[in-house]
Chains A and B, each alone.
Chain A
Amino acid sequence: MAAHTSQSVAKAAGDDVENDVAARGRSRRTDSDSGNRGENRGGKGASGLRRAVGTHWYAWAMVAPVVLVLGVIIGWPLVRGVYLSLTDATERNVSRTIGARHIEATYQFVGLDNYVDVLSDPVFLQRLVWTVVWTVACVSITFTLGLILANMLNREFRGRAAYRMALILPWAVPGFVSVFAWRFLFNRDNGILNKLLDGGGIAAIPWLDDPTWAKFSVVAVNVWLGVPFMMVALLGGLQSIPGELYEAAEMDGATAWQRFRHITLPGLRTVSMTVILLSTIWTFNMFPVIFLLTRGGPGDSTEILVTQAFREAFVSSPRDFAGSATWGVLILALLMIFALVYRRSLRKQGEVW
């Protein structure tokens, strides 16, 4: 080992050009081929770094802006958020500038106190349970509807383009506009939905006034907003399945259901897995639908984790920045655990992720 190391140090320090060319030639294989060289490299510390920079400087140069931007817009707020969650920062003790006057920050590091507070409060568990129910309900309904619509649209018929346009419309309207529109529709006393029901002789439904109906309503609106994305993604997946497969299956006498089960579903698998993961993360953190439609109400029955974090930070005074950051970090941790488990289960099934 020692000999190896000194040799490579000498080499690295010596003929750069030759090294460069050799490394460049080999670099493509590095990921897949023997662990031997990788191990060698790993043990070398500074010289290895120098060589890596020396040989791949152009790659580093290309990546640098991206790393920088990600660092500034994602990394820094994240680190700052984690740090705040370990302090007692509130509106009263953070630094702020009021005109010419600057007030210095006086908050202190409190360790894991905030996490203990949040996790020992029954509110967290209540919100978590409803957030999971909400996410599972929204994603499964959205996915099923998207799949059905995609299959219906994946065939030739008159006016197909018009249907597609109509189905994508909810996606084109800004989210808050549709949510406000739904809020008017759902209004118990003066909303159109209840006027229609009234016309049919059915008693008014307290859409947003009853905890159960409110939950139903927020899920319905989120599904309405989410279906177009699912449909378009799945439609793309459907169109990439070769037609010959269906022809061959038909020749073998497979029924429509069998074709769907054995060709369509496996063919859509990669796309589905991706959209389900994305949709889960989005729904888990779907702030606008809940906040704008019910403000978490009636009472606090439709409050999910993110809206609760907002409540912590912006509704009461002084605003509890540390508490809100704690909720945020917990939400992030939950989603990361979910993504890891999801990835592992896909790996087990042989998907490449």
Chain B
Amino acid sequence: MRRGIAATALVATLALAATACGGDDKGAADGTKAGGELSGTVTWWDTSNDAEKASFQKLAEAFTAKHPKVTVKYVNVPYGDAQNKVKNAFSSGSDAPDVIRADVGWVADFASLGYLDEVPAETAKKIDAEFLPQAAASGKFEGKTYAVPQVIDSLGLFYNKKMLADAGVQPPKTLEEVKTAAAAIKAKSGKAGLYLRGDDSYWFLPLIYGEGGDLVDAKNKTVTVDNEAGVKAFKTARDLVSSGAAITNATDGYANMQTAFKTGEAAMMINGPWAVADTYAGDQFKDKANLGVATVPAGSAKAGAPQGGHDLAVYAGSKNTAAAHAFVEYMTSQEVQVQSTKDLSLLPTRTAAYEQPDVKGNEMVQFFKPAVDKAVERAWIPENGSLFEPLKVEYTKAITGASSPEDAAKAAGVEFRKILKGWK
């Protein structure tokens, strides 16, 4: 009950604040272009991390230089809570943001619930012509375009060049090589070889792709997480930890992983381009050249990393859709994308951006672009995001040895079928 009261109070306060400071633009805030010029307030909920947010806030607020009558309200929402917060705001309608930065896995879900405003036809055409096709695919649902890709990413193997060189090993290409490399690193420095995140199932994807499996087969409406390849992936995860090649945690994994890697407690980790800016801040990487990135280690079948990234979408209930869409277009424009590559080593979604010297010359892009090109496209179904939670429970159980790989795979399959009603 208390929470309800607090929420009501909060909404009331925000409503008051909004009317107080936005009183003048009320008339134009209904999405019409007063005299052809955009005006009003665009509230943007950004989910970028601590190392990235200052840069994005600056870029977002620069929108005002192009459209002086539009005020951009930048709000950073921590990625972990964002999906819930966005849904709460969207379904209640009040206090909802005009634009959100949605993980590629959320777009179909939000769109299927009717929360997203379709991208204007002109922009949709441009997306098909000018963006990386796999990035463009993530913004679509049932043939319509609901989101514009902002950044694209994938996972790679980050390694500490010096630690590997000291132990006399090459960056490993397979999980078997990870094990031998880890043994050498432990013998040389006493530190761990690999930090493998155990509290988030996204990090399980390279393992299951590595065995030639996948979570689901959307074409045939079949759950595949519990097939032979799936079981093998759970076994691999457990084996990496029990053999001592990798260390993990069942809570606070991301923070612990970054700390372990930045301080040299672990020589390798699996992570994405969003972690680069933060990693450079670590003691071990004062000399940026010490950070190496390689393709995720292969399992018994191949090396595969998931395609990730973020799209920008406009809330269907926004009072100011014209300005909101203009803002999205600006934030996904080539100059903004190039700038965020320059600042944060993030990967653009526009094909032409890769021709720009700032992007072309970026070492992380040089590595991650081929990785992204080869990345495994996920099933863009509304339930995409929901699968990660039950999978997380089973992945954590398997990796920490609380349950056998076979049981974990089976239980994940049972939960998946509960979510995907009618699937095999």
Interface residues of A (CB under 8 A from B): 73-74, 91-92, 96-101, 103, 183, 187-190, 206, 208-211, 214, 294-295, 297-301, 311, 314-319
Chain B nearest Cβ from A318, distance in angstroms: 7
A74-B1, A189-B259 known, 17 other contacts, Cβ within 8 Å: A91-B87, A96-B93, A98-B90, A99-B315, A99-B319, A190-B259, A208-B250, A208-B252, A209-B250, A210-B250, A295-B251, A298-B199, A298-B251, A298-B400, A299-B393, A315-B389, A317-B386
Known: A299-B393, A299-B402. A98 touches B259 (CB 8 A): no
Interface residues of B (CB under 8 A from A): 1, 84, 87, 90-91, 93, 109, 112-115, 199, 249-252, 256, 259-260, 265, 315-319, 382-383, 385-386, 389-390, 393-394, 396-397, 400, 402-403, 419
A contact residues around B115 at 8 Å (CB)? 98
B contact residues around A92 at 8 Å (CB)? 112-113
A contact residues around B113 at 8 Å (CB)? 91-92, 318
Q: Is the CB of A297 within 8 A of B396?
A: yes
Pick 9 A–B contacts, CB within 8 A, sort by A: A209-B250, A210-B250, A295-B251, A297-B199, A298-B199, A298-B396, A299-B400, A315-B84, A316-B386
B contact residues around A97 at 8 Å (CB)? 93, 317
Q: Is the CB of B383 within 8 A of A294?
A: no
A contact residues around B318 at 8 Å (CB)? 99
A contact residues around B265 at 8 Å (CB)? 189
A10 to B249, CA, bound (A): 80
A91, closest chain B residue (CB)? B113
Q: Is the CB of A73 within 8 A of B251?
A: no
A6 to B200, CA, bound (A): 76
Q: Which 10 A-B pairs have the closest CB atoms?
A: A99-B317, A298-B250, A299-B397, A209-B250, A98-B317, A316-B386, A208-B251, A317-B386, A97-B93, A98-B316
Chain B nearest Cβ from A243, distance in angstroms: 40
A297 to B303, CA, bound (A): 30
A270 to B103, CA, bound (A): 55
B contact residues around A299 at 8 Å (CB)? 250, 393-394, 396-397, 400, 402-403
Known: A103-B114, A209-B250, A314-B84. A189 touches B256 (CB 8 A): yes
Q: Is the CB of A297 within 8 A of B316?
A: no
Q: Is the CB of B386 within 8 A of A297?
A: no
Q: Is the CB of B393 within 8 A of A96?
A: no
A26 to B376, CA, bound (A): 83
A contact residues around B114 at 8 Å (CB)? 96, 98, 101, 103
A74 to B4, CA, bound (A): 12
Q: Is the CB of B400 within 8 A of A210?
A: yes
A contact residues around B250 at 8 Å (CB)? 206, 208-210, 214, 297-299
Chain A nearest Cβ from B170, distance in angstroms: 27
A contact residues around B397 at 8 Å (CB)? 298-300
Chain B nearest Cβ from A311, distance in angstroms: 8
A319 to B87, CA, bound (A): 10
A210 to B400, CA, bound (A): 8
A contact residues around B403 at 8 Å (CB)? 299
Q: Which of A214, A301, A316 has the most CB of B within 10 A?
A: A316
B contact residues around A311 at 8 Å (CB)? 389
Known: A98-B316, A187-B252, A189-B259. A317 touches B383 (CB 8 A): yes
A196 to B335, CA, bound (A): 51
A contact residues around B259 at 8 Å (CB)? 189-190
A contact residues around B400 at 8 Å (CB)? 209-210, 298-299
B106, closest chain A residue (CB)? A317
Chain B nearest Cβ from A146, distance in angstroms: 24
B contact residues around A206 at 8 Å (CB)? 250
Chain B nearest Cβ from A183, distance in angstroms: 7
User: Which of A98, A99, A209, A316 makes the CB contact (< 8 A) with B389?
Assistant: A316
Q: Is the CB of B93 within 8 A of A98?
A: yes
Chain A nearest Cβ from B352, distance in angstroms: 34
B contact residues around A187 at 8 Å (CB)? 251-252, 256
Q: Is the CB of B317 within 8 A of A209?
A: no
A9 to B109, CA, bound (A): 65
A97 to B259, CA, bound (A): 44
B contact residues around A208 at 8 Å (CB)? 250-252
Chain A nearest Cβ from B225, distance in angstroms: 15
B contact residues around A189 at 8 Å (CB)? 249, 256, 259-260, 265
A contact residues around B394 at 8 Å (CB)? 299
A317 to B113, CA, bound (A): 10
A233 to B259, CA, bound (A): 44
A contact residues around B84 at 8 Å (CB)? 314-315
Chain B nearest Cβ from A150, distance in angstroms: 28
Q: Is the CB of B317 within 8 A of A298?
A: no
A189 to B248, CA, bound (A): 10
